[in-house]
Amino acid sequence: MTIARPQVPAALGGYPRIRMRRNRQSPWIRRLVAESSLCVDDLIWPVFVVEGENRRESVLSMPGVERLSCDLLVQAVGEAAGLGVPAVAVFPFVEAALKTPDAREAINPDNLVCRAVRAIKAAFPAMGVICDAALDPFNSLGHDGIVCEGEVVNDATVAILCQQAIVQARAGCDIIAPSDMMDGRIGAIRDALDTEGFERVLIMSYAAKYASAFYGPFRDAVGSGGCLVGDKKSYQMDPANGLEALREVALDIAEGADMVMVKPGLPYLDVVRRVKEAFGMPTFAYQVSGEYAMLKAACLNGWLDYERALLEMLLSFKRAGADGVLTYAALDAARLLRGE
Ligand code: PBG
């Protein structure tokens, strides 16, 4: 049975030539007019490393994400390399016995992150490796900086971050990513790296990092959540502020950041857009653990289609102006984008 075409309403009749749907009628034209696109080159895969051998632990609040011992991590990075993912970001789960108030394990050249970086670079020299500069995995109080008399102290922390960056660079890390939000750390780390001969090591600044509720699952994954005394609001940004993010980014660029990041991602797409427009720098968005957990939870309940929702979220970062995205779903996304 055919249905008779309804009468064209008068409102449309006045503009018979303008039909927005013409550009949407089939895949080939939709591909031609697409304003943004997502590809494997846009993905950075954050991974968690744990002590031991042949060890694999699920992170309960992040279904599908595992902490891996170095040997298994190298295999997993091999998989990422095979899929064409350009870089991984390595985060350590540090044993409680090694956490101290001075976070001294952070500057041990043979600590877990450094060993993981050496193993990855030995097996896959062409894979980009990113390390956080921040003390939280190593600090018994769970803070990104050193706590003195209840305060997270800035300059003493920056001095340790410089040493941390150097041990990581020496281990073979390509990009130091300060995620601590101390003032002045980008310039100080740049100087420290240059003085040690690491002028080719890049700095990706977590420039606009908000004091967010969406980091909870990450803190489970690195085992810092249980330790955290108080909150991080005295150094991470207030979610109410957008202009302040531009000032943070401007400072980090002036101090020598090669690229900047906005974090979390989805709740801060406006900030991604403003940062990209104001500075035109390589700009990254971090789809953080809580964003991943929300997506996974809804999908595991059958409430959302994982593949479609994931690609739509990742594309939204590109549309907002990001050059790339850190996502725990990087391998899933890479497979989907390659049509596998
Ligand atoms: C630590 C750090 C955090 C994240 C990356 N580096 C957590 C925090 O600041 O508490 C969050 C990543 C995520 O939630 O996925 N400085």
Interval 305-334: pLDDT, tens = 999 999 999 999 999 999 999 999 999 999
Catalytic residue among 99, 121, 263, 276: 263
Q: Which CATH superfamily is domain 38-337 in?
A: Aldolase class I (3.20.20.70)
Ligand 1 surroundings by CB, under 6 angstroms: 132, 134, 136, 144, 179-180, 215, 218-219, 232, 288-289
Please state, in angstroms and rounded to a whole number, the distance separating the CA atoms of residues 230 and 111: 27
Q: Report which DSSP code applies to 207.
A: E
Q: Give the mean model confidence (pLDDT) for residues 8-22.
A: 72
- What pLDDT does residue 1 have? 65
Instruction: Please say whether the beta carbons of 137 and 223 come within 8 A.
Output: yes
Both tokens of 314, joined, read: 């990742």
Per the prediction, the chain carries an average pLDDT of: 95
DSSP letter string, 166-182:
HHHHHHT-SEEEE-S--
Tell me the domain boundaries of the chain.
38-337
Q: CB atoms < 10 A from the CB of 225, how many? A: 16
Please state, in angstroms and rounded to a whole number, the distance separating the CA atoms of residues 70 and 90: 11
Question: pLDDT tens across 159-185, in order?
Answer: 999 999 999 999 999 999 999 999 999
- What pLDDT does residue 10 have? 61
Catalytic residue among 209, 232, 276, 318: 209
Is 248 assigned a ligand-binding role in the annotation?
yes
**Alpha-helix residue ranges (DSSP H) falling in the chain:** 10-13, 27-33, 70-83, 112-123, 154-171, 185-195, 216-222, 243-255, 269-279, 289-300, 306-320, 330-337
Question: pLDDT tens across 120-147, in order?
Answer: 999 999 999 999 999 999 999 999 999 9
Please state, in angstroms and rounded to a whole number, the distance separating the CA atoms of residues 130 and 132: 7
**How remote is the CA of residue 287 from the centroid of ligand 1, in Å?**
11
Residue 340 scores a pLDDT above 90? no
